[in-house]
């Protein structure tokens, strides 16, 4: 029977969704809740909330884009440095390979054939050092743009959830009660789904996400309420 390893490889995408959804569920909710504490008009709450979602999604998406671009630039910088070190100080770099294998329990003589093989292939040698010495993986060239759209889109989806009750209810106070319930439910569902993709306990992830999200929203609501 053939063995098939099941590993989840979408960690970066999940991270982007988590970043976008978490902020999208809490920040617009806190803003809407704070405004509804001072005003009874749902129209003003919705207008302010939509403006925040638009601005927040752009800011979050841009932040994700710049972060991913920064990672790519850092990788390229380290790649050039590693290539130059292989040329300038090959013996030092070879010893670093030996030291890496010693950390896994191999002796110098056992590591010697691998070192010799890598020295014959400078490109493979460079890639080996990048991954195992520096812990860096070659970034996806499309990562920055995909990250920006994923975070921004997740923020918009998350932000519309606490605002939806204000779009449907006539009274802001009534909408606030519904928004609290809907946002908590959305946080729990979001945590459950996140747990499924990350391989941790779904129910544990659900209540932890709901707890952390509600605490963040509560603090933000308190600040917004105090200001208004």
Residue 66 in tokens: 């710049």
Whole-number pLDDT of residue 151: 92
> Which segments of the chain have a pLDDT < 50?
3-9
Give the domain ranges of the chain.
11-73+144-227, 78-133
Q: pLDDT tens, 51-96?
A: 999 999 999 999 999 998 998 888 899 889 988 888 888 888 888 8
Tell me, what's the pLDDT at 149? Answer: 93
Closest CA to 160 of 145, 182, 177, 181: 182
């Amino acid at each position: 029977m053939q063995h098939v390893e099941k590993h989840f490889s979408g960690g970066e995408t999940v991270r982007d969704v988590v970043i976008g959804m978490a902020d999208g569920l809490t920040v617009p909710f806190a803003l809407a809740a704070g405004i509804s504490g001072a005003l009874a008009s749902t129209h003003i709450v919705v207008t302010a909330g939509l403006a925040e979602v638009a601005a927040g999604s752009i800011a979050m998406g841009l932040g994700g884009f710049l972060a991913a671009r920064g990672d790519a630039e850092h990788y390229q910088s380290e790649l050039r440095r590693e290539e130059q070190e292989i040329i300038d100080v090959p013996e030092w770099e070879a010893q670093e390979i030996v030291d890496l294998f010693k950390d896994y329990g191999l002796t110098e003589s056992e590591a010697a054939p691998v070192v010799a093989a890598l020295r014959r292939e400078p490109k493979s040698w460079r890639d080996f050092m990048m991954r195992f010495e520096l812990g860096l993986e070659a970034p996806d060239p499309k990562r920055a743009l995909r990250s920006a759209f994923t975070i921004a889109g997740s923020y918009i989806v998350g932000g519309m959830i606490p605002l939806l009750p204000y779009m449907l209810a006539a009274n802001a106070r009534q909408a606030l009660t519904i928004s609290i319930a809907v946002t908590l439910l959305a946080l729990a569902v979001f945590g459950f789904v996140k747990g499924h993709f990350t391989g941790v306990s779904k129910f544990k992830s659900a209540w932890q996400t709901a707890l952390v999200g509600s605490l963040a929203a509560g603090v933000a609501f308190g600040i917004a309420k105090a200001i208004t």
